Structure 1
């Protein structure tokens, strides 16, 4: 690993050019972005969702769970970001990667499928009170609207 620690910066929008060693966090877009810690320079995007990554800010440092596995990049680096430190994790076999992709796909289907069922049960019209424009809004906007009922 070229970068053994990451400084965090809370931003609204992530800059086009990433400064190595900086973890950009956009709460507005529920995403963290950084330049790969191996030093290859590839952009690594970690969205905060119930089925992707979780970010913890302890007032001084940032942690991301689960690990960052860059399986689609040439470097195939794998590391954990814990309290601002970058901890190298071992490489995964192709079988492990495929198993994780399948687990991720199932988790997304289970989670977002359940949100689809909740939307159908919303009061209103036969489509659950959702207009055609509501379907084009983000899932977060729709969930927030539903929770405020």
Structure 2
């Protein structure tokens, strides 16, 4: 899974600022949802062989699979979802966190969620799923720091 496009920006803070700028361009949430769907289509291909229970993220109503790789110096995450909007949320999370050191990941709060108004515009099940995804990434980074 070394064909990851992440990180797109040089720091997590820069990634979050860019996400906020991109979403500010859109006037309403129907356009923002469409942009989320478009972002989800940019996720790298995720092999069907990895879409197994072992890699399934619990806490999501949609099917989400995530596979971490690397060590404390650089953690990469490959992920996919069967939902178009959730795929976009996955893309945003990977844009901020994938390809970073474990210490950068642990030190980075997901400020982009509030910055673009996601918390107010996601259903409770999608919010729970996004929280589960971010918790998985943070937990994996903390484990890598201890290892």
Instruction: Report the TM range for the smaller structure's normalisation.
Output: under 0.3
- Tell me which protein shows more helix as a share of its residues: 2
Computing the radius of gyration over CA atoms, which structure comes out larger, 1 or 2?
1
Larger relative CO (CA 8 A, sep 6+): 1 or 2?
2
Q: Which has the higher strand share?
A: 1
What is the TM-score of this pair, normalised by structure 2? 0.25
Structure 1-normalised TM-score? Answer: 0.24
